[in-house]
Amino acid sequence: MLVAALALSGCFGGGGAPPPSYARYNEYLPCANRIGRCFELQIAGAEVEVIEDEARQKALAADIARISYQITDVYWELPKPVPAAHAFEVALAPAGDGEDVLGAEREPAQISVWSLAAGERSESAAIAQEKAMLTTVAGVPPATALSPGRYVFEVRYIGSRDWDRKFVLLTIR
């Protein structure tokens, strides 16, 4: 058991939580929180970045939670706008020894998309707004292009042993 714990903590260089350092972390089960620590992600060729400022992340998360209760743990962003034609070009790779934790990629990444232009939830519109406006898999572009605006993408790495996900804030131009 101790050997397994040391091996898992070695996934991220041992000592301390990997980014985002302010988020909850279990060194024995580094992927258990499912906040995207166990894989790297590129969207439209750009590396997804962690939201470093905890206060900014908490404010963004509170605003985004008004759109859908399904959007949780938004710790990642693409700071530069993404062309709509390339928004679904994703590349994933295990982080550190993430392949040991998650296993090899078992199936293409699952992508769910929420528009932040939908506005706050209300009783009459809750069902329509809380569900992802679009769900697809990597390599299969959706039939309709995204309009310019702000979105949250949930990208799931489906491994042979476990899975992880990143909720990513991005802007489509």
How do residues 113-140 score in pLDDT, each as one tens digit? 999 886 555 444 444 444 678 889 998 8
Is there a domain that residue 4 lies in?
no
Is there a domain that residue 8 lies in?
no
The three-state secondary structure class of 158 is strand
Is there a domain that residue 45 lies in?
yes
Q: Domain span at residue 54? A: 34-172
Backbone angles phi, psi at 54, to 5 degrees: -60, -40
Can you give the pLDDT of all 173 residues of the chain as single tens digits? Answer: 333 333 434 444 455 667 888 888 788 777 888 999 999 999 999 999 999 999 999 999 999 988 888 888 999 999 999 999 999 999 999 986 677 889 889 999 999 999 988 655 544 444 444 467 888 999 888 888 899 999 999 999 999 999 999 999 999 99
pTM above 0.85, yes or no: no
∠ at Cα 135 (37, 142), nearest 5°?
Answer: 115
How many domains are there within the chain?
Answer: 1
- Cα separation, 26 vs 128, in Å, equals 35
Is there a domain that residue 17 lies in?
no
- Cα separation, 46 vs 139, in Å, equals 17
Is there a domain that residue 1 lies in?
no
